[in-house]
Structure 1
Amino acid sequence: MGILLQVLLTAVAVWVSTVVPGIDLGDASPVAKIGTLLGVALLFGLVNAVVKPVVKFFGCVFYIVTLGLIGLVVNGLMFWLTGYLADKLGLPFVVTGFWPAFWGAIIVAFVGWVLSIVADRVFDGD
């Protein structure tokens, strides 16, 4: 799947995650919110591409001991880090704490997975 399509799907998934109290896009115009979502999707992809492999490498024992359940915590922390970095970059995307980040990351993962399945079927013609 193309990178642009993946960013768009992630942006939609991030938008869905704003139903969680503590995850907010601020009060902006719809066009500005779309820009923010695309920026956050790119940032989330970069955080997952750069930071997550390092965390997995150094925390591999925890992944083994918890049978992978620590991955939920790591995903939440990556989402929280994305919110922090978005704020530092001037994007009006706020994640107020660990629990909103935890549930938001679960929503982003699930919605992204469903959208990827749909996109694969639509663009592959199956």
Structure 2
Amino acid sequence: MAISAFFPSSLYVANVEMAVVAAFVLGLLNWLVKPIVSLLSLPINLLTLGLFGLVINGAMLELTAKLVGSGFQFSSFWSAMLIAILMTIVSAIIAAHFDKSDE
């Protein structure tokens, strides 16, 4: 929801309930589909030194948008890639913060 507020022309989220549904679907896709896609794309991921993982994350977001429906949409694949990069950065910052708190 926060990212959609910063980029309203790139990501449309109808309401909080749709954001929760999209988060659940994205979690399921990341648990079930992403490992298979990552394994199949391992050679290109090695050639690009892991940067192809961003493309996979963007594709998972696009697939989420297709499965959820009209309440969760991206304006283009490139906007999904941008959102995937931002989500990765925010996730890394949050994970680093909580890892630091445990010490």
TM-score range, shorter chain: 0.7 to 0.9
> Could you tell me the TM-score, scaled by structure 2's length?
0.83
Say whether residues 1:111 and 2:97 are aligned partners: no
In the alignment, structure 1 segments of 5+ residues that lack a partner are 1-14, 27-32
Alignment of 1:12-51 (within 5 A): 15-18=1-4, 19-20=6-7, 21-26=9-14, 33-51=15-33
Q: Would the aligned equivalents of 1:95 and 1:101 in 2 still touch at CA under 8 Å?
A: yes
Distance 1:68 1:74 in 2: 10
Name the amino acid aligned to 2:88: A
Instruction: Tell me the residue number matched to 1:29.
Output: none
* Cα contact 1:23–1:94 (8 A) shared by 2: yes
Aligned-pair distance for 1:43? 0.9
In the alignment of these two chains, the number of paired residues is 101
Give the secondary-structure state (helix, strand or coil) at the position aligned to 2:71.
coil
Cα root mean square deviation, aligned: 1.9
> What's 1:68 paired with?
50
- 1:35-72 CA deviation, whole Å, 9 max, x = no partner? 22211111111111111111111111001111111111
Which SS does the other structure have where 1:76 is aligned? helix
Identity across aligned pairs (percent)? 30
d(CA) in 2 for partners of 1:83 and 1:39? Answer: 10
Q: Distance in 2 between matches of 1:121 and 1:67?
A: 27
Q: Which amino acid aligns with 1:79?
A: L
Partner of 1:93: 72
Report the CA distance between 1:121 and its aligned residue.
5.9
SS at match of 1:53: helix
Gaps of 5+ in 2: none
Mapped partners of 1:39, 1:120: distance in 2: 28
Partners of 2:88 and 2:58 in 1: how far apart? 10
- TM-score calculated relative to the size of structure 1: 0.69
